[in-house]
Amino acid sequence: MPHRSFLHPSGPVPATPKDKAKVTYRDAGVDIDTGNALVEAIGPLAASTRRTGVLGALGGFGGLFDLKACGFTDPVLVAATDGVGTKLKLAIETGIHDGIGLDLVAMNVNDIVVQGAEPLFFLDYFAAGKLDLGVATAVVGSIAKGCKEAGCALIGGETAEMPGLYAPGDYDLAGFAVGAVERDQLLPRNDIAAGDVILALPSSGVHANGFSLVRRIVEGAGLRWNDPAPFAREATLGEVLLTPTRIYVRQILETIRRTGAVKALAHITGGGLTDNIPRVLPQALAAEIDLAAFALPPVFAWLMREARLAQDEMLRTFNCGIGMILIVGPQDAERVLQALDEDAKMIGTIGERGRGAPIRYAGAFARSAL
């Protein structure tokens, strides 16, 4: 239909009063120029993560990746999405933003590697009421650092400025990762059996789960984030608790390739050992964990004592010093430990479940000195 003049029912549309000011998008709280400045700032950061398979650069409507270029013959894609929980609130309150992106990457790529998959690319979502260029650049810079550590490319993302939705200074984060594994190398394997051995890799700290309880405990103790940590007096409480989540990708993939002996992996996140190990076990089997086989790190011992948490609650809330679990045959345990090339430990075995729970604990924590 051709355009035509639209008339007010009673005649021409009234003119806008001369004293009524014009309103721009910036007046409404969204600064496109600041958003563009952020894209300019993070371009080199994203470029530094480039790897085989990446096509194009930031700025397109979608990120491009050539799976064939990576040499897969019968690949299965593995996808994950996650955030960092209320650990983000601690980063905001302390003004320490240069590690939270590592947490974001870790929470995603660690979930991918437990399927035996190699993380290939990552996208992030950053939202705030008002975009702070310095904060956003620090966060995305730490995301890029995490991507390089994991060997995946930062190929895109979204920055959203949404006035009125977030309190001043607040922001939110989410991450999305995709990896691939050859179909015949998917984990967990179907040959997990009673008598298999459970190996554990240490965490770097609280990682990114349980922080709603952590914040409640710290508040109840009358402490501030800039106070010396009661369990690590060389640093502040905030600095210690913000220690980034460990990224296990390269170490795990190398161990899988060198030994061919890893039957299953479990990333110890929300739900702790209690909820995460059973996720990779056949219905008829149970994990039997010897709590005396590993020391409860000082940060967890302090949290447990300060909140008077029962041992079962600790094990279902925090990682308790263990960030990644490997299940291997008993004949392979020693060479897998050697391949891991660090302080990995045997902490239990796989047994018949019967009518019991899918995880059983023996003994009590061997607590480290406070």
Domains and CATH numbers, the chain: 32-185 (3.30.1330.10), 197-367 (3.90.650.10)
d(CA 301, CA 98): 27
pTM of the model: 0.92
Average pLDDT over residues 316-340: 98
Pairwise CA distance, residues 209 & 119, whole Å: 22
Residues forming a β-bridge with 182: 75
Q: Is the pLDDT higher at 121 or at 12?
A: 121
Residue 2 has pLDDT above 50, yes or no: no
Give me 338's structure tokens: 């050697």
Give per-residue pLDDT as tens, 276-300. Answer: 999 999 999 999 999 999 999 999 9
Among 5-9, 218-222, 330-334, the range scoring the smallest mean pLDDT is 5-9
In this model, does residue 103 exceed pLDDT 90?
yes
Per-residue pLDDT at 127: 96
The predicted structure's pLDDT at residue 19: 60
| Strands (E) located in 256-321 | 262-267, 285-290, 295-296
Write down the pLDDT at residue 21. Answer: 72
- 34-43, 55-64, 228-237, 360-369: least confident range: 360-369
**Token pair recorded at residue 359:** 């995880």
Mean pLDDT of 256-272: 98
- Return the pLDDT at 31: 76
The alpha-carbon radius of gyration of the chain (Å, integer) is 25
Q: What is the mean pLDDT of residues 307-336?
A: 98
